[in-house]
Structure 1
Amino acid sequence: MPGRRPIDAMHTLPLRLNPGEDLRAALQAAVRARDQRAAFVIAGIGSLVDARLRLAAADDALVVPGPSEILTLSGSLGADHAHLHMSVSDAQGRVWGGHVLPGCRVRTTAEVLIALLPDWDFSRDPDAATGYLELVAKARGQ
């Protein structure tokens, strides 16, 4: 049809992260290593030690001490940013969730599926309505 864009390409990237790796930094590095500027984390499972989360509207990190299991992991990745949300359960089965902060170290493994979007660029710009840096998605060439 005239005026309609063709369906954009999407490539999937399954990853296994190793013990000791920083979850957030490793995901950003995987996207950068493939010269990608737009990606989404579709799913993630695994285990962490001393998970670090930022709760809604909080300024400080919540540290979930000791071992925890990743129950959910999703978010967006760009060349210079990561906006990731995660829920984890601690050794007593309590569930915590929030923004993934640097310092979440893999305990045994993390298995993550990333969708690479080679036809797009993601950036973050200030948004007057929210007061935060918010996602700006642009098709390459725009």
Structure 2
Amino acid sequence: MHALTFRLSPGDDLRAALDHAFHARGLSAAFVLQGIGSLSVARIRYAGRDEAAELRGDLEILTLAGTLSAQGPHLHMSVSDAGGRVHGGHVTPGCIVRTTAELVVASLPDVRYTREHDAATGFAELVIRPA
């Protein structure tokens, strides 16, 4: 395992930035150890829903976790709004950094992650293979 640290800037799309970092570094498998920072827009898909909810305003990232593969990231996060209410779920494109996002990602060079259709769930699920 090798740890990588990233700082995202205002206006960056959180999900797209992680996907870009994964591909730019030629990684085969990685996962987010921790993420903190702020967002001006959070697009989160809640459990059992097909569409993402969009939250706007001063939002704090409380937690961020997930896997990174060649087919794209699978991320979950919780954010709090200016009133302290917490929202969480699946991260979709369009989560925009407000001031900063500080991320620690672990690269797993001996493993390759892919996402493949799973007949049991009907979704593209994580498949783990030797690199």
- Please give the TM-score of this superposition, normalised by the length of structure 2: 0.97
Q: Which residue of the partner structure matches residue 93 of structure 2? A: 102
1:59 and 2:50 matched = yes
Q: Deviations over 1:67-123 (max 9, x none)?
A: 200000000001221100000001111000000010000000000000011111111
Which runs of structure 2 are paired with 1:1-142 in the superposition (5 Å)? 10-140=1-131
**Runs of 4+ more than 2 Å apart:** none
Which protein shows a greater Rg?
A: 1
CA RMSD of aligned residues (A): 0.7
Gaps of 5+ in 2: none
Gaps of 5+ in 1: 1-9
Cα distance in 2 for partners of 1:37, 1:85 equals 20
- Please give the TM-score of this superposition, normalised by the length of structure 1: 0.90
The residue matched to 2:115 in structure 1 has which SS?
A: strand
Aligned length: 131
Q: Deviations over 1:2-25 (max 9, x none)?
A: xxxxxxxx1000110000000000
